[in-house]
């Protein structure tokens, strides 16, 4: 779905690749649904274009941006957001809910070893991060910001 969003926004693939420090092939794969970006890339693109990351991961057609888009700041956003707070939020939620990775894995649809990597600060792809936030009843944007308030 992220690729559809990028196409809707009319963002030039080569420019996005340059700003994000990724190959044009990587962006091509995102746009054509061959792969999903890591959550930090999706988060930076969303912020730069005035959306929440949930907007870029969701199924509904994009409306107007929530904030004024600042596409010229994409390069800064890619470099400054680095990693989101997703892994720290995930770790806190697992502890707070008292749920094991083995119990949580089927709800998310991922293997428990994958969830273990997220606890160890490996970033998930956008699709998995969005699913995880949904399982916990949170917006993905809130998880990336480390604001763990339920919707």
Question: What domains are defined for the chain?
Answer: 2-81 (1.10.260), 86-145 (1.10.260.40)
Residue 118 sits at φ, ψ, to 5 deg, of: -65, -35
Query: Sign of the CA dihedral 117, 121, 123, 124?
Result: positive
pLDDT 10s digits, 95-127 = 999 999 999 999 999 999 999 999 988 889 999
Cβ distance 117 to 104 under 8 Å? Answer: no
Q: Name, in order, each residue with C-beta under 8 angstroms of 102's C-beta and a sequence gap of 6 or more.
A: 112
Tokens of 122: 């490996």
Residue with tokens 């962006």: 27
pLDDT 10s digits, 30-59 = 888 888 888 888 888 888 778 888 888 877
Cβ distance 132 to 87 under 8 Å? Answer: no
Is the whole-model pTM more than 0.85? no
Tokens of 87: 């892994």
């Amino acid at each position: 779905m992220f690729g559809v969003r990028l196409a809707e926004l009319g963002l030039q693939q080569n420019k996005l690749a340059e700003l994000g420090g990724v190959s044009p092939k990587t962006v091509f794969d995102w746009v054509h649904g061959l792969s999903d970006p890591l959550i930090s890339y999706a988060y930076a693109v969303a912020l730069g274009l005035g959306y929440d990351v949930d907007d870029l991961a969701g199924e509904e057609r994009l409306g107007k941006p929530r904030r004024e888009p600042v596409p010229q700041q994409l390069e800064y956003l890619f470099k400054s957001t680095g990693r989101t707070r997703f892994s720290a939020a995930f770790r806190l939620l697992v502890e707070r809910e008292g749920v094991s990775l083995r119990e949580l894995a089927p709800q998310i649809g991922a293997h428990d070893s994958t969830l273990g990597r997220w606890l160890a600060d490996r970033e998930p792809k956008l699709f998995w991060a969005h699913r995880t936030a949904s399982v916990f009843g949170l917006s993905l944007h809130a998880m990336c910001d480390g604001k763990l308030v339920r919707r």
